[in-house]
Structure 1
Amino acid sequence: MESQSRSTSHNQTVDDDSRLITTATTRRIQRLTLHLNPNPPPPEEELLQRLSCGSRAKLEVDKTALSIYMKGKYSEIQDRVFEFFNSRPDLQTPVGIPKDEHRELCWKQLLGLVREAGVRPFLCVADDPGKYFAIVEAAGSVDMSLGVKLGVQYSLWGGSVLNLGTKKHKDKYYDGIDNLDYPGCFAMTELHHGSNVQGLQTVATFDPLTDEFIIDTPNDGAIKWWIGNAAVHGKFATVFAKLMLPTLDAKGVSDMGVHAFIVPIRDMKTHQTLPGIEIHDCGHKVGLNGVDNGALRFRSVRIPRDNLLNRFGDVSRDGKYTSSLPTISKRFAATLGELVGGRVGLAYSSVGVLKIAVTIATRYSLLRQQFGPPKQPEVSILDYQSQQHKLMPMLASTYAFYFATKHLVEQYSEMKKTHDEQLVADVHALSAGLKSYVTSYTAKSLSVCREACGGHGYAAVNRFGSLRNDHDIFQTFEGDNTVLLQQVAADLLKRYKEKFQGGTFAVTWNYLRESMNTYLSQPNPVTVRWEGEDHLRDPKFQLDAFRYRTSRLLQSVVVRLRKHSKTLGGFGAWNRCLNHLLTLAESHIETVILAKFIEGVQNCPDPSSRAALKLVCDLYALNRIWNDIGTYRNVDYVAPNKAKAIHKLTEYLSFQVRNIAGELVDAFDLPDHVTRAPIAMKSEAYSQYTHYVGF
């Protein structure tokens, strides 16, 4: 008995010790888990309840506060543009207007905006670029042809005089450009050369006997092509040509590289084409038929030596060339660098187009009812998960792009003030990437919006067709999107190399400089399994995931390029890795977009608006991660259970954004006379539609 008692007592002690050890171990694990993940995941039942689309909890959004925050400090000038055209029905673009009539109307719209409404975009090009881009976006919302024609006059033709010329050019041309007495063109693109500007074939040969340049088109491939304002209205052109100086050697001339020249193309009084200049109409286009694109050929056209835009290179009376920059490549880079504003404007304006499209599609999807439970009222088509999947991530992307392009405009404005070299490099890469990424996304989204609105989306009056056709060329304007993404990739590789040589990183690449080793380290085996909502909606997790992907892509493409260069050479290796490089560039741009969106959320002063923006930002981030979930799974950054949780949460967030979709599009503050689509009217949409067709 005593032995049995001792045995029982001993076993009891062991059991007690085991329980103590187990309890202590459990507490340690819990503390470690809380340390690693301060926001523990909710119980599975709670998560499933949150994910149920039967839940109707929705945020209360102060639309006025959100709209004020989104429109920023340039809302007054945009409202001024909108109200002017609302007060002038004669200047509003009818559906299906013929090409020639559209061109004349577009010119009248521009004249009215400048001379009647007193909106002077040219005053803002240099002094307040943010205001200028806001004017362009508003004008493009009225008619995209008007926005583009305004850009040709003030950003391209006017901008070339401001940015590439010197005081003598500004004194002579500024007022005429500003008040539209001097309508002009930007003659860079040729029949055989677009993106490869260094390959342009038009020549400008200096004649020391007459102190003139002679502009020539040496062959048909050198004909200037797609030149806006050339076919009908332009009186001047900034012509990009190779500057040729006579020499005493066997060659006879010396090529100083591509320069810009002011060339009059029509008589100021009679508007007749000047001698030696041949102008043809490029004809009917897929879209933007309010812009008169033309082709120009020059046959020994003589211009004064002073017509050389000589900021980066000049020719003296005796034919000597001088420049503050030592090489052709540096002069070329400086010249194109001053023209980066066009890319900034296209990225910014493309967001404006996306705002209109997503507003029309969302409002119609809230209005349109179809099917439903048996013997119950039909439901809004935006209540269907498939419609939410089409439109809600797009609405989130619209907000994301707004904050990213707003940041780009701020950086560009600062660059114009300071001319800081590091900022110049940053703006060049960021403008190329955002222009490419945003315009490509918008182009695809316009088709999705049309489809989401069914047959009514196919009606011209509801605008998707014209928006899609007019915007499509944004993917080619100011640099083909694929070429621009390669510039981003090349710049990123350059910065990567500089990192290991002790160089400095431009602002855009700071996250790689600061945390490259962190992002390339082996994923934490604990965190790859976290699936709690608080963790997945943590901005740090989202941004880390984006940065990790970019860092891996960068490191792997460096290895591949080094390997292929040994057998294929530099060009061949680049081409072999081209798709990899494009993916790298897109990943980096997505990372920048998310970072700026997170900043935009954090800086929002109104609590209800901040909560709404946080919801939208989470949808943007998690939807992007889910769309590329294969990449994260392949490198074990996300475990299967976590991938499944991301997918479920993305669907739930789409549903939650759907609940405030009306408020979110209303916050864009686009009046009905700007959206113009009957199916998007805030009230009596169907009656507006039936009235339009004659009932």
Structure 2
Amino acid sequence: MQTLNSKSKSNNNESNSDAERRIERLSLHLNPIPHLSWNNIEMENCSRGKKLIVDTNSLSGYMRGKHREIQEKIFDYFNANPHLQTPIEISKDNHRELCMNQLLGLVREAGVKPLHYVVNDPAKYFAILEAVGSVDMSLGIKMGVQYSLWGGSVINLGTQKHKDKYYDGIDNLDYPGCFAMTELHHGSNVQGLQTLATFDPITDEFIIDTPNDGAIKWWIGNAAVHGKFATVFARLKLPNYDAKGVSDMGVHAFIVPIRDMKTHQTLPGIEIHDCGHKVGLNGVDNGALRFRSVRIPRDNLLNRFGDVSRDGKYTSTLPSVNKRFGATLGELVGGRVGLAYSSVSVLKVSATIAIRYSLLRQQFGPRDQPEVTILDYQSHQHKLMPMLASTYAFHFATTNLVEKYAQMKKSHDEELVADVHALSAGLKAYVTSYTAKSLSICREACGGHGYAAVNRFGSLRNDHDIFQTFEGDNTVLLQQVAADLLKQYQRKFQGGTLAVTWNYLRDSMNTYLSQPNPVTARWEGEDHLRDPKFQLDAFRYRTSRLLHSVAVRLRKHSKPLGDFGAWNRCLNHLLTLAESHIESVILAKFIEAVQSCPDASAQAALKLVCDLYALDRIWNDIGTYRNVDYVAPNKAKAIHKLSEYLSFQVRNIAKELVDAFDLPDHVTRAPIAKQSGAYSQYTQFVGFQ
């Protein structure tokens, strides 16, 4: 009994001792040894380099490019018209009316004509869209519905007669319109749409019908309140006199008036209902449309890719339903380009707010010394600095996408069309998913003040969330990218030429099919790890490895499961492949942007940020590289250590990097992100004098 008591006391003493040691260590963490100041510790850990001197104006000029003037015109217009600025608290109905007034003011007072740029200068249009979305995301989406979707469908899917009739009315907002594609039962699977457009040769009209509730057009922007027209996607049905029935010619687009031009009353045969209050974007009036034998003239068929004559004969320059469908959707790819580009602007705003606040807010620090800013904590740097690097990476990747899209619209080059289609799908999916996650991280990084509506994270997060779904669900879009990669893989082994975006696979796949180099796998010097060639090779090697392995898996599973079953069995693998490919494209464009930067100080800053982006991504997937001995253990450790060091270095110029986004206080609007007097403006907002 005494022995047991002795053991019990001994164990208690050990437990007390352990607890005391833990308390002592925690105390040292919160109150470091007096003679080691915070700055000394940082200097000791980060003595390899000095803070860069960044010319913010040069960096900003390089990033914003030639469209800076039109964006500043938009910012200045809304700053000069406070009645058009969106308040923190606003009802759904008031927000919708404000949003329409904002758009009218932009077009009729400020003189910005978006449709002109949709047709003649797409890059400038996307710059306008970015600026407008920074003012109010609902306004950006409403403008996109009017000009990219409704206007774009008329311009891109119609012929000259449609442009002559509708262009001016769309441009000056006399003809507000909708884009009625999505149905209750069908979204991503556009070929499965059920709305019918049956040709009546007796009256020379199409009859638009909603055959069942599943075919009700749903989530149609501009439909609930303001729209007078809709581009309706429906299955074209033509009389087949030989078979004494009807022929289904596939999905086509039709202009359908939905409200009277003078009275604004809903037209006969059309039923419109409000989709109601949404998680976000409540300035956009989404509605649901049902059609009951609505007759429209034959000329209302948008007939660029297929036409119907007076006697009901169908003609097209494209030989099949699939070819016509592909051409139709190909002309609508601008919506995805715009979403990817706009998502980056949301990321810029949220990163600016979070980083400025993190440089302002002070908390804890060495004993008897001033508190330090929360961005001086390594954990905070780990949250925000790779995100800042990603924002820069995404900026250059989406800017390149916009340039490619503009070239495509001018040249109509088939290879460029395919390139833009794949890139827009992948970047839209990848960037919007990343931004959605980052918005929550930014809110958390600002603590309780990030939860205040006035500091905008709630509205930014809610408004942006749907970016992951519309213009193509992200998971579906990534599958499209994976399918394109597999086609290129097949071409590579059949001796065919690879499309522009996939050229790297030719050499990278050969590298993958051989064994990793055991010498370079151990190189861990900083010069080597910061070499763009090493970084890009690593990204591309991973993509090639994933592509080869998923091709083998699909072949293995296709016999017992069939093509669809094999695809579903490998789906997560395919999504990872698509994301890896997009990351490779993003890094390649970032490296090009760094090398093309004309200002030495801006180039040095971009190089630092690019290195952080690359090494952070490699470290996040280090298991993949270790599994195939592409990176030895000592090199993996060096990558991790260097990425943490680069985060610290980027933190040192974080203010300059967010200032280079050139977002005025009246655009970011969050009191905690004000460039001066942030706390005083915050306290004034809640009522203190």
One fold, TM greater than 0.5?
A: yes
Most deviating of 515-524 and 267-276: 515-524
Q: CA deviation at 1:518?
A: 2.0
Which residue of structure 1 lines up, in the alignment, with residue 487 of structure 2? Answer: 494
Deviations 1:164-188 (A, max 9, x none): 0000000000000000000000000
Aligned equivalents of 2:494, 2:686: Cα separation in 1 = 68
Which residue of structure 2 lines up, in the alignment, with residue 691 of structure 1? Answer: 684
Q: 1:115 to 1:681 in 2, by over 3 A?
A: same
Give the one of 392, 398, 401 matched to 1:399. 392
For the pair 1:329 / 2:332, whether they are aligned, the reply is: no
Give the one of 320, 324, 328 matched to 2:313. 320
Which residue of structure 2 lines up, in the alignment, with residue 9 of structure 1? Answer: none
Deviations 1:440-481 (A, max 9, x none): 000000000000000000000000000000000000010000
Aligned equivalents of 1:513, 1:632: Cα separation in 2 = 20
Most deviating of 242-251 and 517-526: 242-251
Which residue of structure 1 lines up, in the alignment, with residue 601 of structure 2? Answer: 608
Which residue of structure 2 lines up, in the alignment, with residue 237 of structure 1? Answer: 230
Q: CA deviation at 1:302?
A: 0.1
Deviations 1:365-386 (A, max 9, x none): 0000000011110000000000
Q: CA deviation at 1:303?
A: 0.0
Q: Please state whether the residue corresponding to 2:503 is helix, strand or coil.
A: helix
Aligned equivalents of 1:466, 1:181: Cα separation in 2 = 30
Which residue of structure 2 lines up, in the alignment, with residue 593 of structure 1? Answer: 586
> Residues 182 and 217 of structure 2 are in contact (CA less than 8 Å); yes or no, is this contact kept in structure 1?
yes
Aligned equivalents of 1:389, 1:523: Cα separation in 2 = 30
Q: CA deviation at 1:254?
A: 0.6
Which residue of structure 1 lines up, in the alignment, with residue 79 of structure 2? Answer: 86
Q: 1:641 to 1:514 in 2, by over 3 A?
A: closer
Which residue of structure 2 lines up, in the alignment, with residue 436 of structure 1? Answer: 429
| CA RMSD in angstroms, aligned pairs only | 1.1
- Gaps in structure 2 of 5+ consecutive residues: 1-40
Q: CA deviation at 1:503?
A: 1.9
Q: CA deviation at 1:336?
A: 0.3
For the pair 1:451 / 2:461, whether they are aligned, the reply is: no
Which residue of structure 2 lines up, in the alignment, with residue 675 of structure 1? Answer: 668
Q: 1:619 to 1:170 in 2, by over 3 A?
A: same
For the pair 1:563 / 2:563, whether they are aligned, the reply is: no
Which residue of structure 1 lines up, in the alignment, with residue 643 of structure 2? Answer: 650
Any residues of structure 2 matched to 1:480-491 within 5 Å, and which?
480-491=473-484
Which residue of structure 2 lines up, in the alignment, with residue 463 of structure 1? Answer: 456
Which residue of structure 1 lines up, in the alignment, with residue 363 of structure 2? Answer: 370
Q: Please state whether the residue corresponding to 2:324 is helix, strand or coil.
A: helix
Give the one of 479, 484, 509 matched to 2:502. 509
Q: CA deviation at 1:259?
A: 0.0
Which residue of structure 2 lines up, in the alignment, with residue 212 of structure 1? Answer: 205
Which residue of structure 2 lines up, in the alignment, with residue 302 of structure 1? Answer: 295
Deviations 1:28-74 (A, max 9, x none): xxxxxxxxxxxxxxxxxxxx999814778200000010010011110
Aligned equivalents of 1:334, 1:513: Cα separation in 2 = 28
Which residue of structure 2 lines up, in the alignment, with residue 578 of structure 1? Answer: 571
Deviations 1:525-568 (A, max 9, x none): 11101111110000000000000000000000110000000110
Q: CA deviation at 1:248?
A: 2.7
For the pair 1:57 / 2:50, whether they are aligned, the reply is: yes
Which residue of structure 1 lines up, in the alignment, with residue 411 of structure 2? Answer: 418
Equivalent residue letter for 2:523: W
Aligned equivalents of 2:645, 2:84: Cα separation in 1 = 45
What is the number of residues matched between the two proteins?
Answer: 648
Equivalent residue letter for 1:116: E
> Residues 508 and 544 of structure 2 are in contact (CA less than 8 Å); yes or no, is this contact kept in structure 1?
no
> Residues 519 and 547 of structure 1 are in contact (CA less than 8 Å); yes or no, is this contact kept in structure 2?
no
Aligned equivalents of 2:95, 2:358: Cα separation in 1 = 31
Q: Please state whether the residue corresponding to 1:669 is helix, strand or coil.
A: coil
Equivalent residue letter for 1:353: V
Equivalent residue letter for 1:641: N
Aligned equivalents of 1:573, 1:515: Cα separation in 2 = 26
Any residues of structure 2 matched to 1:515-534 within 5 Å, and which?
515-534=508-527
Deviations 1:259-311 (A, max 9, x none): 00000000000000000000000000000000000000000000000000000
Equivalent residue letter for 1:608: S
Q: CA deviation at 1:206?
A: 0.1
> Residues 226 and 293 of structure 1 are in contact (CA less than 8 Å); yes or no, is this contact kept in structure 2?
yes
> Residues 215 and 301 of structure 1 are in contact (CA less than 8 Å); yes or no, is this contact kept in structure 2?
yes
Aligned equivalents of 1:619, 1:452: Cα separation in 2 = 20
> Residues 203 and 217 of structure 1 are in contact (CA less than 8 Å); yes or no, is this contact kept in structure 2?
yes
> Residues 159 and 339 of structure 1 are in contact (CA less than 8 Å); yes or no, is this contact kept in structure 2?
yes
Which residue of structure 1 lines up, in the alignment, with residue 23 of structure 2? Answer: none
Which residue of structure 1 lines up, in the alignment, with residue 19 of structure 2? Answer: none
Give the one of 616, 624, 635 matched to 2:628. 635
Deviations 1:331-385 (A, max 9, x none): 0000000000000000000000000000000000000000001111000000000
Aligned equivalents of 2:584, 2:44: Cα separation in 1 = 27
Q: CA deviation at 1:249?
A: 5.1
Aligned equivalents of 2:577, 2:120: Cα separation in 1 = 35
Q: CA deviation at 1:496?
A: 1.0
Q: CA deviation at 1:686?
A: 0.2
Deviations 1:386-405 (A, max 9, x none): 00000000000000000000
Give the one of 104, 120, 131 matched to 2:97. 104
For the pair 1:153 / 2:146, whether they are aligned, the reply is: yes
Equivalent residue letter for 1:360: I
Aligned equivalents of 2:359, 2:645: Cα separation in 1 = 18
For the pair 1:662 / 2:663, whether they are aligned, the reply is: no
Aligned equivalents of 1:597, 1:633: Cα separation in 2 = 25
Which residue of structure 1 lines up, in the alignment, with residue 262 of structure 2? Answer: 269
Aligned equivalents of 1:110, 1:54: Cα separation in 2 = 53
Aligned equivalents of 1:455, 1:645: Cα separation in 2 = 36
> Residues 51 and 648 of structure 1 are in contact (CA less than 8 Å); yes or no, is this contact kept in structure 2?
no
Aligned equivalents of 2:381, 2:499: Cα separation in 1 = 38
Of all paired residues, the percent bearing the same amino acid is: 85
Q: CA deviation at 1:96?
A: 1.7
Q: Please state whether the residue corresponding to 1:500 is helix, strand or coil.
A: helix
Aligned equivalents of 1:538, 1:502: Cα separation in 2 = 32
Aligned equivalents of 1:97, 1:550: Cα separation in 2 = 47
Deviations 1:606-641 (A, max 9, x none): 000000000000000000000000000000000000
Equivalent residue letter for 1:347: A
Give the one of 317, 337, 354 matched to 1:361. 354
Aligned equivalents of 2:586, 2:150: Cα separation in 1 = 31
Equivalent residue letter for 1:615: L
Q: Please state whether the residue corresponding to 1:193 is helix, strand or coil.
A: coil
Q: 1:149 to 1:326 in 2, by over 3 A?
A: same
> Residues 509 and 545 of structure 2 are in contact (CA less than 8 Å); yes or no, is this contact kept in structure 1?
no
> Residues 626 and 632 of structure 2 are in contact (CA less than 8 Å); yes or no, is this contact kept in structure 1?
yes
Aligned equivalents of 2:281, 2:310: Cα separation in 1 = 43
Equivalent residue letter for 1:312: F
Any residues of structure 2 matched to 1:106-121 within 5 Å, and which?
106-121=99-114
> Residues 520 and 548 of structure 1 are in contact (CA less than 8 Å); yes or no, is this contact kept in structure 2?
no
Which residue of structure 1 lines up, in the alignment, with residue 535 of structure 2? Answer: 542
Equivalent residue letter for 1:277: I
Aligned equivalents of 2:233, 2:600: Cα separation in 1 = 52
Q: CA deviation at 1:521?
A: 2.1
Give the one of 249, 254, 258 matched to 1:256. 249
Q: Please state whether the residue corresponding to 1:103 is helix, strand or coil.
A: helix
| TM value normalised by structure 1 | 0.92
Which residue of structure 2 lines up, in the alignment, with residue 4 of structure 1? Answer: none
> Residues 203 and 243 of structure 1 are in contact (CA less than 8 Å); yes or no, is this contact kept in structure 2?
yes
Aligned equivalents of 2:43, 2:318: Cα separation in 1 = 62
Most deviating of 244-253 and 64-73: 244-253
